[in-house]
Amino acid sequence: MEPISKLQEELKEYALTLGADIVGFCAFENAPSAYAPTLRHALSIGVKLSDAVLATIDNAPSFVYFQHYRTANALLDQIAFRLARRIEEYGFSALPIAASQSLGKENPYRGAVPHKTVAVKAGLGFVGKSGLFLSEKYGGKVRLATVLTDLPVESELPLLENGCGDCTACKNACPAGAIFGEKPTVDGERNFDPEKCSKYMKEHFQDIGRGSVCGICIKVCPKNKLR
C-alpha cells in the first residue's frame, strides 16, 4: 500500500477534479459521529456558491438561490459519495455525510456530524457570529460536506481564529432575529437559533422552499467582499 500521505494527496486531487473548491483533513480524539464509532478521521469538502446567484438575494430569499443551494448540495453529495468509494478501494472504511441532513423529528437541525466543526478542525476557516462557516478562501459563500474515515489522514493547516471582530452585520440584517451577535466557539458550536430561522422561512416564504435557505446572512457578510 502507498504511504498515507500519498493517499491523502491523491484524495485531495480527486476531490478537486470532481468539483470541490476547498478540501481539508483532520483527526478527532474520539469519533465525531455516533453513526460511525470507529471513524475518527475526516475529509472536509466545500463548493463555492455563485456570486451572481447570491446577488439575487435582496432582503428576501430568491427562487434562484434556493435552486442553486440544492444544486450545490447535490454536487457535494456526489463528491462525498465518490471519495468514500475511493477510500474503500484503498482498503479503509468511509462514511459520506450529506451536505444537508436532518436526523428526523428529534433533532431536525443537525446531521450525523457538524460539517462546520470538521471544516474548522481541518483549518479551512472559522465559524462566524452568524453561525455560518466562513472559509479562508471564499468567506461564507461555500456549502460543505464531510467524509468520515479510518484512513488516518491528518490536518495540513493550522486552526484559524474567529475573525468577526466588532462586526454585527449579520445580526442586524437577519429578518428572523435568529442571530445573537456573540462570538461562537472555535469548534463550531451554533450561535444562532436554527428553529427561529427555519420558522421564519416557513411562515414568510413557503412558496420558495423548505428550510433555512434565506441567505441574507451570507450576502451581507464583509468576509465575502474581501475576496
Encoded one letter per residue, x for contact with ligand SF4 by CB under 6 A and - for no contact, window 193-212 reads ----x--x-----------x
Residue 176 as a binder of ligand SF4 (CB under 6 A): the answer is yes
**78 close to 124: Cβ distance less than 8 angstroms:** no
Residue closer to ligand SF4 by CB (options 25, 133) is 133
- Which residue has cell 475518527? 40
List the x/- string, 118-137, binding to ligand SF4 by CB under 6 A: ----------xxx-------
In the block, residue with C-alpha cell 412558496: 207
Cα–Cα distance for residue pair 198/210, rounded to 1 Å? 8
Least distance CB 179 / ligand SF4 (angstroms)? 5
- Nearest residue (CB) to ligand SF4, 80 versus 164: 164
Residue 217 within binding range of ligand SF4, rule CB under 6 A: yes
The nearer residue to ligand SF4, 83 or 201, going by C-beta atoms, is 201
Give least dist CB 186 to ligand SF4, A.
Answer: 14
In whole angstroms, give the CA distance from residue 70 to residue 100: 9
At 65, list the grid cell: 438561490
For 220, counting Cβ atoms within 10 Å of its Cβ (0-12 exposed, 13-18 middle, 19+ buried), the class is buried
Closest C-alpha among 123, 115, 124 to residue 190:
115
**Enclosing H/E stretch for 147:** strand 142-149
Interaction of residue 214 with ligand SF4, rule CB under 6 A? yes
- 168 contributes a contact to ligand SF4 by CB under 6 A: yes
Integer CA distances (angstroms), 150 to 11, 192, 202, in order? 14, 32, 39
Buried b (16+ CB within 10 A) or exposed e, 145-159: bbbbbbbebebeeee
Least distance (Å) from ligand SF4 to the CB of residue 25?
Answer: 25
Measured from the CB atom, the residue of 96 and 139 that comes closer to ligand SF4 is: 139
CA distance 68 to 73: 9
**Member of 47, 57, 178, 184 binding ligand SF4 (CB under 6 A):** 178
Q: Which of 169, 184, 188, 191 binds ligand SF4 (CB under 6 A)?
A: 169
- Please say which residue, 62 or 149, places its beta carbon nearer to ligand SF4: 62
- Positions touching ligand SF4 (CB under 6 A) are 128-130, 164, 167-170, 174-176, 178-179, 192, 197, 200, 212, 214-217, 220-223
